[in-house]
Structure 1
């Protein structure tokens, strides 16, 4: 008998919502850490499944975040149950917290953790925390409008922090927990690991490869163009993951974060400290792939 899925909970999410959800054969589950290419992969899947750059509804309606507490579970289940097309569903839960089904495809998108942390820092400044607290029934922090620390300082704190990865999945231990689990499953025919840098370097090739893995028709140039950063940012009103109005600026969600930006902000000693921490949290072959070491 398979082990019961791990449960992950935070003030905003609860992976237990997966236990009340009925999957269908062919479903696509997009499992990522925050700011690692989630919305990008949702858009790619939308284009490959629906075959048009003019999506019939906002991306968050087509591909809801199933475990987000800001939307009632019954509403999310109902919206997905009504979909007649092949479904593609967002989650930030690691694969060990999602019911495993050989008829379902699981896509895990990874990004260099330092680049992810920089983007996460900037997204934090774009959140309306009062609105988020209202939606999730959580109390506001004592000083919600206090300016964030400089990004360099925040990045050093992020590297040194050592929380329980199961409760703070966007921490460095949490990122490695998520990816280590996916890496161990990568040889399964329905588990697909995608690197953010590969999407950046060869979007056409990556979309064609994903279409083959998912048994979908290859995309034409119009579909690839619709998945580019500039096109997505121009349509932020329909593509930003903000169904409940928690962003101050939807266009700011599509910040042009560059690969290597995180490492460039560190001095040599801090960069070495990051490498040592990462080496203690993940196996060398995963780190070589994640860090693009040759």
Structure 2
């Protein structure tokens, strides 16, 4: 097995996966930020517990292993104590995680422009000082610069030439993550899910995910589970579902902002959208892009 790539930022460190002890049946949810991570965690929780009345907050049931707001050993101990089938959150690409035969890996893909718009708005909802203290970073020497308007920010994001291994939420980082998963999509324990498919056919997608995970759900349970996984239902339960154990979010409900597709492309002119497609063609294979962009051309 090749040595996993080490991904590190001010807030995350994929090195935490190196010494982690997997169990057969574990589920790893690997996504980019704002691409449906919490949605997939909720779907897995509903399938595993087969009730909308979850036994604990979602972040406790499905810890974010490589987030530096909690000590590594605390997360290890929390997961070791769990008796249910474990489902673990990460924003680390698959080449940064040990891939073992008895473990399932789910990667959720979202149109990158929609992901970027959500990421932009999420930035206003984060208590940066609280996050700095939790991750042990020193105080900033200079005051942060005001952010540009959304359209300006988005066009700059499209042009970013950042190293995808250090700027994972850049456009190169998003395409790096998805390309790695796309290359492994035929492996029996790797499942690629499109955000737009969750939007257009949530019942069918949940049934497909259950089948891939080997989970049998009694037919009479499905309506309740599907209702609990809808965007509106999750937004109503934001306090129990958002990844905010350290109090980093200013408003938990704002974490579930809109969840719609197409908002990114709507921000851009025809020329700017064409430039986006030029950039993605430089960063990812054509068959992946055809699958990724099929509902938002």
CA distance, structure 2, for counterparts of residue 224 and residue 289 of structure 1: 25
Rounded to whole Å, the distance in 2 between the matches of 1:223 and 1:78 is: 29
Q: Is the 8 A contact 1:125 1:148 kept in 2?
A: no
Instruction: Give, in whole Å, the separation in 2 of the partners of 1:223 and 1:96.
Output: 32
Verify: 1:56 aligned to 2:58, yes or no.
Answer: no
Cα contact 1:233–1:251 (8 A) shared by 2:
yes
Matches of 1:113 and 1:97, distance apart in 2: 21
Per the TM alignment, residue 94 of structure 1 is displaced from its structure 2 partner at its CA by 0.3
Give the whole-Å Cα distance in 2 for the aligned partners of 1:64 and 1:182.
Answer: 21
- The offset of 1:257, in angstroms, is 3.2
- Which residue of structure 2 lines up, in the alignment, with residue 231 of structure 1? 233
Q: Distance in 2 between matches of 1:257 and 1:49?
A: 24
In structure 2, how many angstroms separate the alpha carbons of the residues matched to 1:258 and 1:108?
Answer: 19
Mind listing any 5+ residue stretches in structure 2 that lack a counterpart? Answer: none
Structure 1 stretches of 5 or more lacking a match?
none
Equivalent-residue separation in structure 1 for 2:153 and 2:85 (angstroms): 40
Asked whether the 8 Å contact 1:94–1:178 carries over to 2, the reply is yes
1: CA distance, partners of 2:175 / 2:237: 32
Give the 5 Å matches for 1:80-95.
80-95=79-94
Which residue matches 1:250? 252
Structure 1 CA distance, aligned partners of 2:207 and 2:276? 34
Partner secondary structure for residue 154 of structure 2 = helix
What does residue 196 of structure 2 align with? 197
Aligned residues: 292
Distance in 1 separating the partners of 2:181 and 2:172: 14
Q: Which residue of 1 aligns with 2:224?
A: 222
Give 1:14's aligned residue. 13
What TM-score comes out, normalization by structure 1 length?
0.97
Q: 3-state DSSP class of the match of 1:90? A: strand
Task: Quote how far apart the aligned CAs of 1:148 are.
Answer: 2.7
Return the TM-score normalized by structure 2: 0.96
CA distance in 2, matches of 1:63, 1:154: 32
Match of 1:275?
277
Aligned twin of 1:99: 98
Question: 2:288 aligned with 1:289, yes or no?
Answer: no
The offset of 1:147, in angstroms, is 4.5
**Aligned residues: CA RMSD:** 1.1
How far has the Cα of 1:140 moved from its partner?
4.0
Cα distance between partner residues in 2 of 1:179 and 1:139:
32
- The answer to whether residue 123 in structure 2 is matched with residue 127 in structure 1 is no
Task: Indicate conservation of the 8 Å contact 2:7/2:166, yes or no.
Answer: yes
The residue aligned with 1:143 is 143
Give the distance between the partners of 1:150 and 1:37, measured in 2 at CA: 24
Q: Offset of 1:201 from its aligned partner? A: 0.4
Distance 1:188 1:257 in 2: 29
Structure 1 residues 155-166: aligned runs within 5 Å:
155-166=154-165
How far apart are the structure 2 equivalents of 1:171 and 1:275? 15
SS in structure 2 at match of 1:220: helix
Between the aligned partners of 2:163 and 2:26, the Cα distance in structure 1 is: 31
Could you list the per-position Cα deviations for residues 168-218 of structure 1 after superposition, in whole angstroms to 9, with x for gaps in the alignment?
Answer: 000000000000000000000000000000000010000000000000023
Match of 2:24 in 1: 25
> Following TM superposition, by how much is the alpha carbon of 1:114 offset from its aligned partner in structure 2, in angstroms?
0.3
